[in-house]
Amino acid sequence: MSTMIVPTERANVAPEPTTPWRPTRKNKSISSIVFLISVVLSAAIVLLTGLAGIDGFGLAFFAVFMAATIVRSFRLNQKNRKDAFVGVLIASAAVLAFFPWMSIFASVILKGVRGLQPNFLVENMQFTTPDDELNMGGAAHAIIGSMLMVSIAAAITLPLGILSGVYLTEIRGRLTFLVRFVVQSMSGVPSIVAGLFIYTTFVNYTDAFSGMAGALALAVLMLPTVARTAEEVLKLVPDDLRSASYALGARQWRTSLMVVLPTVRSGLMTAAILGVARVIGETAPLLLTSLSNNSFVFNPLGGPIGSLPTYVFGLLQIGTENSINRAWTGSLVLMIVVLILFTTARYIGGKDKR
């Protein structure tokens, strides 16, 4: 029988760590250069020939990128060639899906950036008419109003939504069916109906439009999203973990609180993000509950309050050049606020993942 000892030279210096399973840096940069050239070439084709529009661009990109890949793939083996071709398909689909989205993004930025001046972020519209020059007035009151209402809505729905998720997955009480049914039907409620509901109850009762009413309407819309997402992520926790905690003598609520919930922290953060995303751009329910306002309001019970969606809506209706510009800037700020919110939430929630 042969021996298991391999004759090797002794290595005196420790070798560098390598990752041979990753594409090499050279290959990666060639790939991205080919990709970029394809984008530029297909843009040129769209500009210079009869092909037009997003679908024309997608088609041109597909053709150019495929041609480039065929040329490159002469040097590859069978498996890598297959990889390369599927890669072309995926990249083309991505470009097709990406461009409409990019064009929305681009037009909001291009049209909104003119009004994005310091005064826009610190001033309100109390003493400015929508028609005034863009270096006067601002949307600070709307930003503050939106943040205020969304924060209150989140403060109401996050505990409720997570509790309902915990009830459905951990406690599994007798009302499981009912809770799930209510949550599911709530997610079908049109936003204007949520607004009407708060209008006929809270607004009528307090006899005033207010930030609190707006927040309640948003909470109605936010709750089902948060509850369902929370339930889904809690379902992913393996039962082994629960058993381990019970076997240490932990009671159910300690297990849920200290083992199960921390395990899915980033998932619950996602639930919160989806909830906020669901409501931050809602306009209809706010028109019935918080109305709008041109000056600063910090008290959620202090009467009508401004918000970014109603700010945009109101200015668009006026329809003069400067007011429409302000509306675009409002949309841009709304987009940026959402971006900041999501990035922070991802950062906080992603920490537990290594």
Partner 1 sequence: MSQTVQTSVTSVDGEQGEPKVVRGLEAKNIHAWFGKHHVLKDVSLRFPERTVTGLIGPSGCGKSTFIRLLNRMHEFIPGAAMAGQVLQDGHDIYSPEVDAAAIRLKVGMVFQKPNPFPAMNIRENVLSGIKLAHLKVADHDAIVESCLTRAGLWKEVKDRLTATGGSLSGGQQQRLCIARSLAVEPSVLLMDEPCSALDPGSTLRIEETIKELVEKIAVVIVTHNMQQAARVSDFCAFFLADGGPGYLVEADATKKLFTNPSDTRTADYVQGKFG
List of residues contacting partner 1 (CB under 8 A): 1-8, 10-11, 14-21, 24, 77, 79-80, 354
CB of 82 vs partner 1, minimal distance in Å: 10
CB of 14 to partner 1, least distance (A): 7
Beta carbon of residue 90, minimum distance to partner 1 (angstroms, whole number): 19
DSSP 92-136: HHHHHHHHHHHHHHHHHHHHHGGG--HHHHH--STT--TTS-TTS
Nearer to partner 1, 25 or 174 (CB): 25
Question: 6 or 247, CB closer to partner 1?
Answer: 6
Closer CB to partner 1, 5 or 48, in the complex: 5
Query: Shortest approach of partner 1 to residue 238 CB, angstroms?
Result: 12
In this structure, the dihedral spanned by the alpha carbons of residues 76, 79, 82 and 86, taken in order and rounded to 10 degrees, is -110
Question: Which CB, 63 or 84, lies closer to partner 1?
Answer: 84
Of 77 and 188, nearer to partner 1 (C-beta) is: 77
Nearest to 328 by CA among 116, 138, 131, 112: 112
Task: Give the nearest distance from C-beta 102 to partner 1 in angstroms.
Answer: 30
Q: What's the min distance (Å) between Cβ of 1 and partner 1? A: 7
CB of 78 to partner 1, least distance (A): 9
d(CA 214, CA 197): 11
Tokens coding 198: 């708060």
- Cα–Cα distance between 142 and 5 in angstroms, integer? 75
Considering the complex, state which of residue 2 and residue 74 has its C-beta at the smaller distance from partner 1. Answer: 2
Smallest distance, Å, CB 7 to partner 1? 5
CA–CA gap between residue 220 and residue 223 (Å, rounded) = 6
Shortest distance, CB of residue 231 to partner 1, whole angstroms? 21
Which is nearer to partner 1, 133 or 240 (by Cβ)?
240
CA distances, 147 to each of 15, 194, 305 (Å): 54, 19, 11
Question: Tokens in use for 327?
Answer: 């509306």
Dihedrals phi, psi of 163, to nearest 5 degrees: -60, -40
CB atoms within 10 A of CB 7: 5
Give the helix/strand (H/E) hosting 33: helix 25-48
Nearer to partner 1 by Cβ, of 17 and 188: the residue is 17
Classify residue 291 as left (phi > 0), alpha (psi -120 to 50) or beta: left
State in angstroms the smallest separation of the CB of 354 from partner 1: 7
Distance CA 124, CA 32 (A): 46
The CA R_g of the chain, rounded to the nearest whole Å, is 27
Q: Which is closer to partner 1, CB of 75 or CB of 174?
A: 75
DSSP secondary structure string for all residues of 184-233 = HHHTT--HHHHHHHHIIIIIHHHTS--HHHHHHHHHHHHHHHHHHHHHHH
Which of residues 9 and 321 has its CB atom nearest to partner 1 in the complex? 9
